[in-house]
Structure 1
Amino acid sequence: MSVYKNDNDSFFKEAIESVLQQTYLPSEIILVVDGEVNIGIDSLLLDYEKNKLFNIIRLPKNGGLANALNVGIQSSKYSLIARMDSDDICFSDRFEKQVEHLVKYNLDIVGGQIIEFGKDINDVVSARKVPLEHLEMIDFMKVRSPFSHPTILFQKNVFEKLNGYDIKTFPEDYDFFVRAYLNGFRFGNIDHDVLWFRLGEDRSKAIKRRWGVQYAKNEIKLYKKFLHMDFYNYVDFLKVIFLKIPLRVLPFPIYKYVYFNILRKNS
């Protein structure tokens, strides 16, 4: 888990508590402090430092999520890594179900389904449903990421083989999954909700980071990379350019409607 100055200390505490209440407890919790943090978070970190379960790594300045994940995962002592964001909430059996699924089907990366919420987990907004089987996920990945990034649990050797996340690429997780597939790693998602994903009370603010000209430019750059890596052929490339890029530059009210009413399953 990475935490930085704009994170909310109350949400951060809820996220940590959901990890500590797992039916299958982690052997180590790595917190990467990405630059300066607010007083509330710093106070929580000082408290967590007293618990030997925590490995707290403080970076001198903010370097972004991909860099923080690389630093944290490199320091892990164990062969299975679970991702977690600093404001989401795990279902209590998340790790147990995911580890069982990964072992049973001999997978390298396993994710799960998420529920998006507003004020609290009783304020359900929508859900993201992702495909379950490897081949279905690869087809899906031609257009969208086949995992919800904060839900993944994976073998550390995947990270080592890929040399981690590419800090120059955004979205870094989508790129990571494509490179993992091209290197022969096997995927799966469990057919269970494993995470409450916090949108917050301001739903517009929550999805604006996935909208706009700059986001569209980053996507085009990523799709060109997929083309050069031979994950895309030219038909695949043109398909996402014509289907997805116009979506990013729609007037925001229209984009918001499409996001919650077409791209997500409404509550």
Structure 2
Amino acid sequence: MSEAAEFSLLLPVYAGDTAAHVRLAFHSSVGVQTLPPSEVVIVQDGPVGDPLAAALAELEAESPVPVHVIRLPRNVGLTEALNAGLAACRFPVIARMDADDVSLPDRFERQWTLIADGADLVGTGMVEFESDPEVLGARRTPPVGRERIRDHARTHNPFNHPTMMYRASTIAAVGGYEPFGKMEDYWLGIRVIASGARAENIPEPLLKYRVGSGAFQRRGGLAEARTEWRLQRAMLRMGFVTRGQYLRNVVVKGAYRLMPAGVKRVLFRRFIGGGLPGDK
């Protein structure tokens, strides 16, 4: 299929982000892309400090593509911020970006090729870094192919959320982002797959993903385990998993969430690596 290469970039920010990280994320996703976005929608989720506010004003004034900053009066959380951004995007295809990551220069061009070929959602692999984007760590390689993506989704998130490019109509058809603890991205992906939409992944890392020292602590605890169990119940109710798969996931994934951070890090690196939700 052939269509004009026009898409919006959706970039949420909040008080915990830094001006330097936002500038780098923006530059990597706009200034050096072989296929830059047609517009950037930045959602400022509540008040931010003066340095970040100044950086957003600078990007709004000096960007080579139109920038629209949606300034929410209070911090509403990622789910509501993303939905506000989706409503403000003017183009039928939307790319996601987090405020502290780095896109590789050909990321959007490669994703657009699959979108133009009929895909409704396209994710990519990503590679981790801690503070220096040139010092890279573990790769997160997602499953490829419709059946493998669906099978993977029954046990783990098949998409790296910050890498997504999707059709706005596809996301609207499944109700947009819905509150689900830190697993709103996983729940979105499940609903997109279950809807029959065509979802694809590019296995190569087209995004550098910033991880902090507390990433695995945030991925665990009783609250996260309860969210995991709630997600599994939702998947069972909609027929996405069998009862046997549900019981296995409740035990295995619930136990993972309750493990010490060091143990989770080892298991994640060795057996998963393709993206549990709640990474940030």
Structure 1 and Structure 2 fold alike (TM over 0.5): yes
**Deviation of residue 43 (structure 1)?**
0.6
Structure 2 distance, partners of 1:191, 1:249, is 29
Structure 2 distance, partners of 1:168, 1:97, is 30
After superposition, give the CA deviation of every residue in 1:216-252 in whole Å (9 maximum; x if it has no partner): 1111111111111111221110111122111111123
Within 5 Å, which residues of 2 pair with 1:45-56?
45-51=56-62, 53-56=66-69
Q: Which residue of 2 aligns with 1:163?
A: 175
Q: Which residue of 1 aligns with 2:157?
A: 145
Does the 8 Å CA contact 2:140/2:205 hold for their aligned counterparts?
Answer: no
Does the 8 Å CA contact 2:41/2:85 hold for their aligned counterparts?
Answer: yes
Does the 8 Å CA contact 2:121/2:166 hold for their aligned counterparts?
Answer: yes
Whether 1:132 and 2:144 are equivalent positions in the alignment is yes
Does the 8 Å CA contact 2:141/2:204 hold for their aligned counterparts?
Answer: no
Structure 2 distance, partners of 1:168, 1:261, is 27
**Aligned counterpart for 1:37 among listed residues 25, 42, 48:** 48
The amino acid that maps onto 1:109 is: L
Deviating more after overlay: 166-175 vs 81-90: 166-175
Using the size of structure 2 for normalisation, the TM-score is 0.89
**Aligned counterpart for 1:238 among listed residues 232, 236, 247:** 247
**Deviation of residue 18 (structure 1)?**
0.4
Structure 2 distance, partners of 1:37, 1:173, is 24
The amino acid that maps onto 2:269 is: F
Identity of aligned pairs, percent? 31
**Deviation of residue 192 (structure 1)?**
2.1
Structure 1 segments (4+ residues) deviating >3 Å: none
**Deviation of residue 168 (structure 1)?**
4.6
Structure 1 distance, partners of 2:263, 2:205, is 28
Q: Which residue of 1 aligns with 2:264?
A: 255
Does the 8 Å CA contact 1:4/1:33 hold for their aligned counterparts?
Answer: yes
Structure 2 distance, partners of 1:263, 1:252, is 15
Structure 2 distance, partners of 1:81, 1:132, is 21
Within 5 Å, which residues of 2 pair with 1:1-267?
1-20=11-30, 21-51=32-62, 53-104=66-117, 106-168=118-180, 170-200=182-212, 202=213, 205-264=214-273
Deviating more after overlay: 232-241 vs 162-171: 162-171
After superposition, give the CA deviation of every residue in 1:91-147 in whole Å (9 maximum; x if it has no partner): 00100000012223x210001110011121222220101111111100000001111
Structure 2 distance, partners of 1:183, 1:254, is 35
Q: Which residue of 1 aligns with 2:4?
A: none
Does the 8 Å CA contact 1:116/1:124 hold for their aligned counterparts?
Answer: yes
Deviating more after overlay: 83-92 vs 47-56: 47-56
Q: What SS class does the counterpart of residue 115 from structure 1 fall into?
A: strand
Does the 8 Å CA contact 2:219/2:257 hold for their aligned counterparts?
Answer: yes
Residues 264 and 168 of structure 1: CA distance in aligned 2, closer, same or farther (over 3 Å): closer
Deviating more after overlay: 76-85 vs 44-53: 44-53
RMSD value, Cα: 1.4
Does the 8 Å CA contact 1:169/1:175 hold for their aligned counterparts?
Answer: no
Does the 8 Å CA contact 1:113/1:148 hold for their aligned counterparts?
Answer: yes
Using the size of structure 1 for normalisation, the TM-score is 0.94
Q: What SS class does the counterpart of residue 190 from structure 1 fall into?
A: strand
Q: What SS class does the counterpart of residue 81 from structure 1 fall into?
A: strand
Alignment coverage as a number of residue pairs: 261
